[in-house]
Structure 1
Amino acid sequence: MKGLGSLAILASYAWLLVSGQTDVCRVRDRTFSTEPMPGGSHQPADKMNPVSGAVSTRFYVTVVNLTPHRIRLENTHSYQMDIFDFGDVPQGRARQNRVKYRGTWATGDDAGEAYYRIDGTDKTFALRLKSYIPNSAPRRVVLDLSGMGLGQREYVFPGAETSVSLVITGSNRFGFQASLRHGPGNWMRRMYNVIRDRKVRHLVMPGTHDSGMSRITDKITSIGSETNTQNQGINIYDQLRAGSRWFDLRIGSIHPNDNAGRYNGFWVLHVNDELATLAIGNSGESLDDVISEVNRFTSENPGEIIFFSIRYLVGRYEFPDRGPIMWNTAMVNDFFSKLRAINNRCLNLDTSTGFENQKASYFMDQNEGKGCVILLLNGQLPGDVPKESFGDGIYHIRRIGIQDHWSNKQTADAMAPDQIAKWRSFNRGGGSDYGNLHIAQWLVTPDAVASTVLSLQAYAIQPTNPSLYWAGVNGMDPEHWPNVLMVDYIGVQQRDQWGWDQLSAELYTLAVGLNLYMVSENCDVHGKKSPLLRSRGMGTEEDQQRLETSWNGIIFANGTTINNPPPTLHLGRVEILRNGTVLGNGTVLETSIPNPWF
């Protein structure tokens, strides 16, 4: 009987081998496409100026495909558009589609639609562009994914000659997810069975630059303002909800002008040089607020890995004109006491192995499965004060091997190729596997005049963040990608629209897709068959981690949401194709006809 049982097992295994249903990553199963993509366009510098930008009628819609299916363009039509250039998006690639409205900014009846199908599925979606005249924000695009059960969203373009981006990930068997809205806060925990055996340096996560500068609090008297010193529109709690897992946090103590021995708490700072005789900048959130926001998030979303790289760690006078005040042991102990209020710190971690080489599950399983908030000190502490406290879960930055690449470029078209070249200079997986955690600072550094006049926010949401989704993505493949995508103004799509319902979820969805699709296509890193390619019923735990597909509502440009719209409500849909409409095959209609794709 034992022999018969063994034969049955061998027979079952042989059937699995023949049918290809093994749980092993195979190079021949790779779906990533090497098809060249048309070149894209960064926003020209002069279009940052609202005056010159106001007369431009050129815009872009970027589609990012992080699925094993080709996204195929089926039909287009446009009316009074000088350019309406859309195309297929192969697997793992991004396409920046081009649009140029005809005539002047005041032309009100230009419109166009592009219809797409996800190859090998019954899923479809449409992109609709239109002008609304008169309106303060006339040029808009509707991303209609109701044919995928993922809803609709209306966007205003963030500036002249900029992109609105759509990121799609998942697969037909795993479910799809798109960037129209954020998913659950615990995106790491939801893909635990996909990433648990990966080393930390084989994860991809969003990060935020000058993370605590989500408001200006004027705790120091300097010329730093919202335009040139604030780097985020939402606080740490919402940055976490928006997907960020690496935080660039710069902390200092604030001292009365007449007493270096006293200090008025610990505050986030953003200054030109924390050690300069005269520091120029301002303060942001208090450390107390940061701690409260982190604790709120981890109580709602246990099981994540959250890194805080904490810099500065010096004091400054309220009028910061006399250089830094170096922390003594008493001040460091007071700072450590504050940090002990952070929940889910990971105490006494194994430091014999660099944190970058630990498996994700090592951190996610800490604190009885509640995950890890990892505090990494990277400041200006003098030699005679404590710099770590393993028992408190406070570690020096040297405990993790990182490469933090800052381009120090003033424009996105100079920054983007520099960042891409850096992460393409090393390989992931195999005998030459890159050994560090790579932080890509996808941000620009305008000079003081430019940032004051135009604002750091405008630089982030107009030329810089949109370029990540075509230039950045097309600079990646399964062997080349960064670990941290660090940005300013995470989630902000329209200037000064920082409410949660007004945010967009491109970076959140990109991180999910890069981990789920891009990294999973690298057999040296993932090892198992990609979760997006498995057949149902294989009995794997990943079968239980399908993406959310249950929402099919509408989000309007102002953030208003309808969760259960009538099935006939499709924003911007053209019912009649007017004479003069140009079809995708070049045909120009001589008479008006009903829209056959309506």
Structure 2
Amino acid sequence: MRHSHLVASIGWLLAAGSTVVNGLCNPQNVTYSNESPPNGTYMPWVLMGAINNVPGAKQYITIVNLTPHRFVLQNTHSYQMDVFDWGDVPQGHARQNTVVYTSKAGKNAVDDGGEAYYAIDGTDKTFMVRAATHIPDAHPTRTVIDLTGMGQGQREYLDPANQSPVTLVITGSDSYGFITSIRFGAGNWMKNIYPVIKDRQIQHVVMPGSHDAGMSTISNKLRGGGISQNTQTQGINIYNQLWAGSRYFDLRVGSVHSITDNSDYSFWTLHVSGETDEIALGNSGESLDDVISEINRFTAESPGEVIFFRVRYLIGIREVPSRGPIYWTADMVNDFFGKLKGVNNRCGNLDTSTTFNQKPASYFMDQNGGNGCVIFLLAGDLTPDVPQDSVPDGIYKANLLSIADDWSNMGNTQDMAEDQASDWKAVSRGGSSDTFHISQWLVSADIVTTTFFTIESIGILPTNPALYWMGVNNMSPQRWPTVILVDYIGVVVKGQHNWDQLSAELYTLAVGLNLYMISENCDISTVASPLLPEGKSAMRLSSMAKPWNGIHYANGTIVDDAPRHSHPGRLEILRKGTRFMNGTVLDHDIVNPYLTSTSM
């Protein structure tokens, strides 16, 4: 047993054995590790348009540990891999593991494969990750996350591209139950962790956010030259974004007017280069009517959430952009307000004597008889002579939520990531610089670059995956953003936007940061961590941590009750030349000793 592992184990045992007095947070129970995992690697942008090919393909598999248990690497074996580098994952951290398929002459890539086996320290739970080729296929390498040793099923992922990671996020604990990113949990995830977050200021509740949320389609109501490659920012509509965990929406709404009659208009979400320019370049997305319908559908199914819509633009543009903007009249504003009044579970007449960011989460979640709050915050181009809000109707000025909106405005992933992490680390949680900090985890490339690579590829290949190693490893119980704002939430493979093709990394990350990371900060979270063995039983999850015995295949097919020994991608025979973690190399073929076992 390595020294670092021994120290971590002792730390867990001390925390697990400490007494939780009156259910209060105790700094002596903190399990967060101060280790520094190895640095990861950013996907080179030049590979975004390349075919994901073998031999020689390099694949990263990132594991995020938001539990009080260390993930201990027990063993690995690999065949025809030039690199198969795995390691322990300390509590509160992530590790980017590396797999390089062999490029040696004379090797048949069909046979390449390897398996890594982990034990969850202090428990009887295990999991494994398999990397293997799948030839012939447009995605010839695949990753299988096998959590049957945790009672959480399996998922087969298409490796999205060469050097773009597949990610696994695990949170919870042995006593609390585990939640993982291979499947989505309850739509109302906030309600499901209500006992944990209810007394925290809303600025101390981490939530996913959707950048340019309405742009999940190109509707061409605005003929401003924008196409999907450089204008579309989401792959799923707002209803599905809500299910994917988003609770903060960057929503840009404008009126699109007839060229011949300015009084003939309708409201659409927009993404343009300058809404007040003489000619605004861009396009339209979802209609405001559809957005409202989608919000109401979600809140009817998943009550109890706090959902912020920060609404920008609030200005008119001609369907063929020309002659500058059309500023809204009072009648147009009231027409817009009339639309918003169709949203259920708005929260009118909230206390405006203090800003919303310092109010406890329960203040909003308990509204409307416990059905939660949909809050509209207006931050557009309204002129001073028209209505700016409608407080009785739950429509507020944006400054009532005091935010630090952190936009790096940088054209590549690494510069953006380093800038974002530096900025949220400068926020002293519970101190004088505390704030509702929005991390815009997205790249602002120029139009030529976005048209060539596409916003989708930039988001889901180099940029979003970097959040789970670089971003996580720059967070701690004292340092983290409130909102993580992304493009293409839930999407992991380009063009795959159906619900069963999505993945729950950001959803699980947000739940885990709230359950684990913030619960270890006793200055903010005064109650004991729910993940400790002696945490309050009232803080246990319901549907989010239920055992699952299913398999989610790469094509989207889900089998909820899989045969006991069904493990896609598992090697039945370990071939001559297979290399184990301890350096042993097989000199003859053997049956895989782990073939019918879910544990080491």
TM-score by length of 2: 0.94
Is the 8 Å Cα contact of residues 146 and 154 (structure 2) preserved in structure 1?
A: yes
User: What one-letter code is carried by the residue in structure 1 that aligns with 2:458?
Assistant: Y
Residue 517 (structure 1) aligns with:
516
Distance 1:371 1:40 in 2: 39
Residue 558 (structure 1) aligns with:
555
Is the 8 Å Cα contact of residues 257 and 317 (structure 1) preserved in structure 2?
A: yes
Distance 1:546 1:299 in 2: 18
Instruction: Give secondary structure in 2 for the equivalent of 1:127.
Output: strand
Residue 233 (structure 1) aligns with:
235
User: What one-letter code is carried by the residue in structure 2 that aligns with 1:36?
Assistant: S
Distance 2:396 2:365 in 1: 17
Distance 1:240 1:232 in 2: 12
The structure-2 alpha-carbon separation of the partners of 1:587 and 1:55, relative to structure 1 and needing over 3 Å to count, comes to closer
Distance 1:398 1:447 in 2: 30
Is the 8 Å Cα contact of residues 456 and 494 (structure 2) preserved in structure 1?
A: yes
Is the 8 Å Cα contact of residues 165 and 466 (structure 1) preserved in structure 2?
A: yes
Is the 8 Å Cα contact of residues 208 and 485 (structure 2) preserved in structure 1?
A: yes
Is the 8 Å Cα contact of residues 492 and 504 (structure 1) preserved in structure 2?
A: yes
- Between 1:210-219 and 1:587-596, the stretch displaced more is 587-596
Distance 2:159 2:387 in 1: 49
Match of 1:256 among 258, 275, 283: 258
Residue 549 (structure 1) aligns with:
546
User: What one-letter code is carried by the residue in structure 2 that aligns with 1:408?
Assistant: N
Q: How does 1:140-539 map to 2 (within 5 A)?
A: 140-260=142-262, 262-429=263-430, 432-535=431-534
Distance 2:258 2:288 in 1: 18
Match of 1:113 among 88, 105, 115: 115
Distance 1:332 1:18 in 2: 58
Is the 8 Å Cα contact of residues 47 and 53 (structure 1) preserved in structure 2?
A: no
Q: CA deviation at 1:275?
A: 0.8
- Between 1:509-518 and 1:251-260, the stretch displaced more is 251-260
The structure-2 alpha-carbon separation of the partners of 1:330 and 1:54, relative to structure 1 and needing over 3 Å to count, comes to farther
The structure-2 alpha-carbon separation of the partners of 1:277 and 1:512, relative to structure 1 and needing over 3 Å to count, comes to same
- Between 1:104-113 and 1:446-455, the stretch displaced more is 104-113
Distance 2:432 2:103 in 1: 53
User: What one-letter code is carried by the residue in structure 1 that aligns with 2:222?
Assistant: I
Q: CA deviation at 1:357?
A: 0.6
Distance 1:299 1:54 in 2: 47
- Between 1:526-535 and 1:267-276, the stretch displaced more is 526-535
- Between 1:167-176 and 1:440-449, the stretch displaced more is 440-449
The structure-2 alpha-carbon separation of the partners of 1:381 and 1:20, relative to structure 1 and needing over 3 Å to count, comes to closer
Is the 8 Å Cα contact of residues 346 and 373 (structure 1) preserved in structure 2?
A: yes
Is the 8 Å Cα contact of residues 158 and 493 (structure 1) preserved in structure 2?
A: yes
User: What one-letter code is carried by the residue in structure 1 that aligns with 2:252?
Assistant: R
Alignment pair present for 1:94 and 2:91: no
Greater than 6 Å deviation, 4+ residue runs: 52-55
Instruction: Give secondary structure in 1 for the equivalent of 2:549.
Output: coil
Q: CA deviation at 1:28?
A: 1.1
The structure-2 alpha-carbon separation of the partners of 1:167 and 1:85, relative to structure 1 and needing over 3 Å to count, comes to same
Distance 2:543 2:247 in 1: 22
Unaligned runs of 5+ in 1: 1-16
Residue 60 (structure 1) aligns with:
60
TM-score by length of 1: 0.94
Distance 1:380 1:577 in 2: 65
The structure-2 alpha-carbon separation of the partners of 1:372 and 1:56, relative to structure 1 and needing over 3 Å to count, comes to farther
Residue 12 (structure 1) aligns with:
none
Unaligned runs of 5+ in 2: 1-16, 596-600
- Between 1:17-26 and 1:404-413, the stretch displaced more is 17-26
The structure-2 alpha-carbon separation of the partners of 1:570 and 1:54, relative to structure 1 and needing over 3 Å to count, comes to closer
Residue 593 (structure 1) aligns with:
590
Is the 8 Å Cα contact of residues 193 and 541 (structure 2) preserved in structure 1?
A: no
The structure-2 alpha-carbon separation of the partners of 1:592 and 1:529, relative to structure 1 and needing over 3 Å to count, comes to same
Instruction: Give secondary structure in 1 for the equivalent of 2:545.
Output: coil
Is the 8 Å Cα contact of residues 54 and 160 (structure 1) preserved in structure 2?
A: no
User: What one-letter code is carried by the residue in structure 2 that aligns with 1:136?
Assistant: A
Q: CA deviation at 1:446?
A: 1.7
The structure-2 alpha-carbon separation of the partners of 1:55 and 1:112, relative to structure 1 and needing over 3 Å to count, comes to closer
Distance 1:535 1:547 in 2: 20
The structure-2 alpha-carbon separation of the partners of 1:68 and 1:52, relative to structure 1 and needing over 3 Å to count, comes to closer
Distance 2:568 2:307 in 1: 38
Q: How many residues get paired? A: 577
Aligned sequence identity (%): 54
User: What one-letter code is carried by the residue in structure 1 that aligns with 2:230?
Assistant: N
User: What one-letter code is carried by the residue in structure 2 that aligns with 1:562?
Assistant: V
Is the 8 Å Cα contact of residues 71 and 90 (structure 1) preserved in structure 2?
A: yes
Distance 2:588 2:408 in 1: 54
Is the 8 Å Cα contact of residues 53 and 140 (structure 2) preserved in structure 1?
A: no
Instruction: Give secondary structure in 1 for the equivalent of 2:523.
Output: helix
Residue 76 (structure 1) aligns with:
76
Instruction: Give secondary structure in 2 for the equivalent of 1:140.
Output: strand
Distance 2:416 2:85 in 1: 26
- Between 1:137-146 and 1:444-453, the stretch displaced more is 444-453
Per-residue displacement from partner, 1:294-345 (whole Å, max 9, x unpaired)? Answer: 0000001111000000000000001112211000101001000110000000
Match of 1:575 among 572, 577, 588: 572
Distance 1:241 1:163 in 2: 23
Residue 136 (structure 1) aligns with:
138
The structure-2 alpha-carbon separation of the partners of 1:486 and 1:20, relative to structure 1 and needing over 3 Å to count, comes to closer
Residue 27 (structure 1) aligns with:
27
Is the 8 Å Cα contact of residues 54 and 109 (structure 2) preserved in structure 1?
A: no
Instruction: Give secondary structure in 2 for the equivalent of 1:82.
Output: strand
Distance 2:478 2:53 in 1: 38
Q: CA deviation at 1:119?
A: 0.6
Instruction: Give secondary structure in 1 for the equivalent of 2:484.
Output: strand
Q: CA deviation at 1:587?
A: 1.5
Distance 1:65 1:52 in 2: 28
Distance 1:151 1:425 in 2: 39
User: What one-letter code is carried by the residue in structure 1 that aligns with 2:481?
Assistant: P
Q: CA deviation at 1:535?
A: 2.0
Residue 14 (structure 1) aligns with:
none
Q: CA deviation at 1:49?
A: 2.6
Residue 5 (structure 1) aligns with:
none
Distance 2:286 2:55 in 1: 38
Is the 8 Å Cα contact of residues 65 and 92 (structure 1) preserved in structure 2?
A: yes
